Amino acid sequence: MSDDILVRYCSPTIAGLKTGSMFSYCFKNDTDKKETVRRLNQSLGKKGLRVIPLKQTNNRTLLYVYRPSKLEKDLKSESAREILDQFGYKSDAYGQCIARLVKRIKKTDSFPHEVGLFLGYPPEDVSGFINNKAANCKCCGWWKVYGDEQKAQKTFEKYTKCTRLCCSLIAKGCSVEQLAVSY
């Protein structure tokens, strides 16, 4: 996997602005997947990032790139706990929550709606998405917004600007390790 693919889909997470990112990638084979994930964890782990495969369908793998310290904080909020409790998450330990998410993702072809919490979306927007069955949002950008529209729009702009900048720097020869912010 080239650095530009990782940066295209995960820049705000790499830059420390966002808790996590997910994207699908087609590996050559299982060995390629394992080696790539191991290499990324070795190089990005020093910066507080982790990469894990969540689900494989045919030769495509859904990857989760995240910052454990941010995820742990996000999942311990009272509003996040309320959502997670609805879907059988028994612990607020982020590792156990990821394990539960993996089980839920593998059971279905669609995403469990609480996945937004693992990506750093505001709990009020995740709850709004669930309660409204993905309809009636105030606006849509990096996620569907049901809460603070102005704050979300500023965040969308920040994420988009970050992605453009990181993609530009990768094209000029920077590596993902150079772009990754220690957190």
- Helix or strand or coil: residue 159? helix
Nearest CA to 106 among 56, 70, 142?
56
| pLDDT number for residue 163 | 97
What's the mean pLDDT in 20-28? 96
Contact 41, 177 (CB under 8 A): no
Contacts of 113 (CB under 8 A, 6+ apart): 126, 129, 130
CA 73: distance to chain centroid?
Answer: 14
Whole-prediction pTM value? 0.94
CA-nearest of 108, 121, 130, 3 to 62 is 108
Write out pLDDT tens, residues 120-178.
Answer: 999 999 999 999 999 999 999 999 999 999 999 999 999 999 999 999 999 999 999 99
Domain count, the chain: 1
- Which structural domain, as residue segments, surrounds residue 63? 3-179
Q: Is the pLDDT of residue 93 over 90?
A: no
